Amino acid sequence: MLTRKQHELLVYIDRHLRQTGVSPSFEEMKDGLGLRSKSGIHRLISALEERGFLRRHHHRARALEVLRLPEDQMPRGAAAYMEQTADRAASGFAPTVIRGDFSPRLSGVRTANDAAAVQIPLYGRIAAGLPIEALRADPAAQFDVPMALLGNGEHYALEVAGDSMIEAGILDGDTVIICKDETAENGQIVVALVDDAEVTLKRLRRRGNSIALEPANQRHETRIFPADRVKVQGRLVALLRRY
């Protein structure tokens, strides 16, 4: 699920790590990709991190770790690939990611000719003032999703409204695939129900007896609540975008 610039940046970072042993600076990445500002690099890195290709170590300077590469950059042969990525797999982080082909029809997802699809419930646009069940205006509404995107558990699709998560690569009008769950790990993007009334898609951070719901847009503020006011209703596992 990579755009062309995300693909270029991931390959650039991996090559720099191999050649120098350290990750490139934001200035080097900006120049390497021919971008005008470092903010563009920040957005690309956030998107790669969300899609499971990259990991940032936030308390260390210039600390980026490539978790996996696009298929066209992998060494030939399964043995070579396993040897290259053994240390990355050891972390236990193995998200489901579908290779993007930069098709104008559906970004980053193989079509029905390439992968079997299943139907999951399609809810409406996520909006304040409604529990997640109320977003499903049409109980018969279904959404076709490649099976490779789904793991264990029950899933549903949800249309995103607003720009609060754009720096995580989640745009207004995107369709997110959510795995129903009442728990989530620190730092995961979740569907959260606040005060049994407001539903929002945000990154969850636990801070003692409080929960912070973090946007991925500098124009939006992080909201902090007592833990008993926030209920997790699902975890983000995939994103689909039509052009």
Residue 37 a catalytic site member? no
Please say whether the beta carbons of 131 and 197 come within 8 A: yes
Q: Which of 23, 46, 107, 202 is catalytic?
A: 202
Q: How far apart are CA 154 and CA 2, in angstroms?
A: 25
Q: Which of 23, 46, 107, 164 is catalytic?
A: 164
Sign of CA dihedral 99, 100, 106, 107: positive
User: Could you identify the residue written with the tokens 């050649």?
Assistant: 19
Residue 62 burial (C-beta neighbours within 10 Å; 0-12, 13-18, 19+): exposed
User: Could you identify the residue written with the tokens 């029950």?
Assistant: 154
3-state secondary structure 177-241: EEECCCCCCCCCEEEEEECCCEEEEEEEEEECCEEEEECCCCCCCCEEEEHHHEEEEEEEEEEEE
Radius of gyration of the chain (CA): 18
Residue 164 a catalytic site member? yes
**112-128 b/e with 16+ CB inside 10 Å = b?**
eeeeebeebbbbbebee
Q: How far apart are CA 112 and CA 114, in angstroms?
A: 5
Q: How far apart are CA 84 and CA 65, in angstroms?
A: 13
Residues assigned a catalytic role: 164, 202
